[in-house]
A and B are shown apart, each in its own frame.
Chain A
Amino acid sequence: MMIDHIAVYDHFAEYGALIDMAKFDEWLDLFAEECRYRIIPRENFDRGLPAALVFCDSRAMLEDRIRALREANKYNIHTDRHVIGLPRIVEDGVTAEAPFAVYQTDQEGETRLFATGLYRDLLVSAGSRLRIRDKLVLLDTFAVPTLLATPL
């Protein structure tokens, strides 16, 4: 199966919008039943070191993350804005990459660049849409400002 360019565009557009709207249940639905999600600092990735900031190698762990965000964690009160660049489909035909920037705006309207990096999504077809089997968030901004609570 080769993934379709239009479907990939839709996928990334939906991905960013759902986080920015804080619709985390729908965001979870973008992942396949068997999935992995990792945010890896660029300095680790470049040196072949495995440690991640967020490491969920099952859907259960990803759901626990969202539950913790809602039930337990306290974080800087803010809104997110994802600006996701043009995606490209890599040679294997099922992996798509897209650069991203995430801006955070606080309660007083001050915006700062929170993170830039690259998404690398291994995608599978599920009916009419694509789902994520494995998502790597390669984090260029690995000196994380304040804290990282809402997903990138």
Chain B
Amino acid sequence: MVTAAIWPALDYSRVPYRLYHDAALYAREQERIFGGPVWSFLGLEAEVPKPGDFRASYVGEMPIIFNRDETGAVRAFVNRCAHRGALVRRELCGNAANHICIYHQWCYGLDGRLTAIPFRRGIRGKGGLDASFEMGAHGLRPLQVGNVNGALFGTLSADAEPLEDYLGPPILAQLRRLLDRPVKVLGYNRQRIRGNWKLYAENTRDNYHASLLHEFLVTFGLDRSTQVGGVTMDWRHRHNITWAEAGSDTDEFAHQAYAGAGVRNDFLSLKEPALVAFHPEHDDKLNIAITSVFPSAVVVQISNSLAVRQIRPRGVDEVEIFQTMLGYADDSPEMTLHRLRQANLVGPAGLVSMEDGEAIELAHRASKPDQDRATVIELGGGGVISDRDYRVTDVPLRGFWSYYAELLGIEPAGAVR
């Protein structure tokens, strides 16, 4: 069993490979992280605009549905019948007055209450349920639902902090910035990666890899580590914003900086430059803002490409990245076209993201046979975990592990938080 003794360093600068491969630990994560006092991204209010609209989602491996009820409130439940534990709602989305399990037709209202059971009193007075059976005690298991400007979060735990406290001021401000007006869903994409989910959670917090793994960023001048940028975390260092400002470096400076990095630095140009054109939409210069919310949400702005990603663990060895592509409801047709073009940048075929699938599989594969050895997390130095105003750093990964250790009850004495 994995215990607090597993950490080679108190500042989480070394993470034993075992943490990506241990099946018992994975089961504990489902219980103590996803079932614990965290808020998981469920989906968007814009996906359930009318009463009866429902959508399937996940919290960890737990199947969830959320719907808008007759009063207009959004509610979320575990998608599981109280009778035999079967998935109640099989469709991924739709509109319905109630949710009926196909197995024995037990029926639930949009408030999650059990409303009807076939043959409840049996036939001709024989069979059925005893009169003492309490309908009220057998509803769908509810989640507490929180909402930040239309982004819906849920928690299975009664012990979670209020959502706004959980996110903290910088993360909350970033979500409110990107969701400052109503959004519309442009579509979804999914990527199945044969690697542990935490490798992806680390990846989105890793500013160092961006322009090295994703050479397109540098080659075609979209984003470079020489730009003004950095990492900003919440007080507990569990979440992170990786950010950069547009046009904040020069070609000459970038050329020199990348000359020694083994990355092509002759800055090619695209035949269709609209692909990387940036039209500022907020009162700031940010063209990269990648907000990772512990444990499994990533809210992404890359230029004018907007998206929310949900990390869906699929066993210890596989993860699905489910990404919802967004525009604003008041986008002009031209802006919508621009976003559809810039959607080329992200997702499983993304010009600046496809490599993550490969990198995670490489890390998962080579670390598996030697689980007592450890990964190195030391860019930007070890020791204190804190915000940085530079980009060659992976310090938010140590923040992730610090909170992970706390939730799993494996935080060592004297740990750096």
Point out residues on A near B: beta carbons under 8 Å. Answer: 39-41, 43-44, 47, 49-58, 60-61, 63-65, 67-68, 71-76, 142-149
Contact = CB atoms under 8 A, between A and B. Distances in A.
Top 8 nearest A-B pairs (CB, nearest first) are: A51-B187, A60-B271, A147-B357, A144-B348, A44-B187, A49-B187, A148-B349, A72-B216
A52 B336 CA distance: 13
A144 B189 contact: yes
Interface stretch (B99-107, B121-129, B169-177, B191-199): B191-199
B192 A146 contact: yes
Contacts of B357: 76, 146-147
Contacts of B356: 147
Interface in B184-207: 185-194
Interface in B299-347: 320, 325, 336-337, 340-341, 343-344, 347
B355 A75 contact: yes
A146 B356 CA distance: 9
B19 interface: no
A63 B185 CA distance: 28
A89 B105 CA distance: 44
Interface residues of B, number: 41
B351 A73 contact: yes
B191 A55 contact: no
B366 to A, nearest CB: 14
B215 A51 contact: no
B189 A41 contact: yes
B417 to A, nearest CB: 35
A143 B220 contact: no
B275 interface: yes
B358 interface: yes
B213 A74 contact: yes
Contact of A49 (B188, B191, B264, B351): B188
B10 interface: no
B192 A55 contact: no
Interface of B: 92-93, 185-194, 213, 215-216, 219-220, 264, 268, 270-272, 275, 320, 325, 336-337, 340-341, 343-344, 347-349, 351, 354-358, 361
B192 A41 contact: no
A76 B358 contact: yes
Given A67-B268, A68-B220, A143-B320, A149 B349 contact: yes
26 contacts: A41-B190, A44-B187, A44-B188, A47-B93, A49-B188, A51-B189, A51-B325, A53-B347, A53-B348, A55-B341, A55-B344, A57-B337, A57-B341, A60-B270, A61-B275, A64-B275, A65-B344, A71-B219, A71-B264, A73-B351, A74-B355, A75-B355, A143-B191, A146-B191, A146-B358, A147-B354
Contacts of B187: 40-41, 44, 49-52
A145 B192 contact: yes
A55 B343 CA distance: 8
A147 to B, nearest CB: 4
Nearest to B354: A147
Contact of A50 (B219, B340, B344, B347): B340
B57 to A, nearest CB: 14
Given A74-B355, A75-B354, A149-B354, A144 B191 contact: yes
A40 B348 CA distance: 12
B6 to A, nearest CB: 29
A34 to B, nearest CB: 13
Contacts of B272: 58, 60-61, 64
A79 to B, nearest CB: 16
A55 B189 CA distance: 13
B355 A147 contact: yes
A47 B171 CA distance: 32
Contacts of A52: 187, 340, 343
A88 B356 CA distance: 38
A61 B342 CA distance: 11
A49 B186 contact: yes
A106 to B, nearest CB: 11
A52 B350 CA distance: 10
